[in-house]
Amino acid sequence: MIKLISEMETENYEKNEDIYSLPKLKSKDFPTPVYHTAIYPNFYRDEKWFKLFKGRFINNLLSLFTRDKIINVMLDDIPEQSDVLQMGICFGDEIQAVAEQVGLKGRYDIIDVNTAQITFAKNALGDNYPQVVFYHYNAEEPIPEKYDVVICFMLLHELPIVSKMNVVNNALKSIKEGGKVIFVDYGRPNMLHPLAYVIRLFNRLKQPFAEKLWDREIASFAEKDLEYNWKKTKYLGGLYQKVVVTRRNKDQYIY
Q: What is the pLDDT of residues 55-89, one digit of tens each?
A: 777 777 777 888 899 999 999 999 999 999 999 99
Residues in Cβ contact with 1 at an 8 Å cutoff, skipping those fewer than 6 apart:
none
Is the domain defined by 24-247 classed in CATH 3.40.50.150?
Answer: yes
Q: What is the pLDDT of residues 186-209, one digit of tens each?
A: 999 998 899 898 999 989 888 999
**Measured between alpha carbons, how far is 151 from 120 in angstroms, rounded to an integer?**
20
In percent, the amount of the chain with pLDDT more than 90 equals 60
DSSP 55: S
pLDDT at 122: 92
Per-residue pLDDT at 4 exceeds 50: no
In percent, the amount of the chain with pLDDT more than 70 equals 89
Query: How much is the pTM?
Result: 0.86
Pure H helices in the chain: 5-15, 17-20, 34-39, 47-54, 56-62, 67-75, 94-102, 115-125, 161-173, 196-206, 212-215
Select from 84, 130, 91, 128 the least CA-distant residue to 110.
84
pLDDT confidence tier of residue 38, bands split at 50, 70 and 90: confident
Q: What are the domain boundaries of the chain?
A: 24-247
Who has greater pLDDT, 224 or 228?
A: 228
Q: What is the pLDDT of residues 88-137, one digit of tens each?
A: 998 778 999 999 999 999 999 999 999 989 999 999 898 989 999 999 99
pLDDT at 40: 78
pLDDT at 251: 65
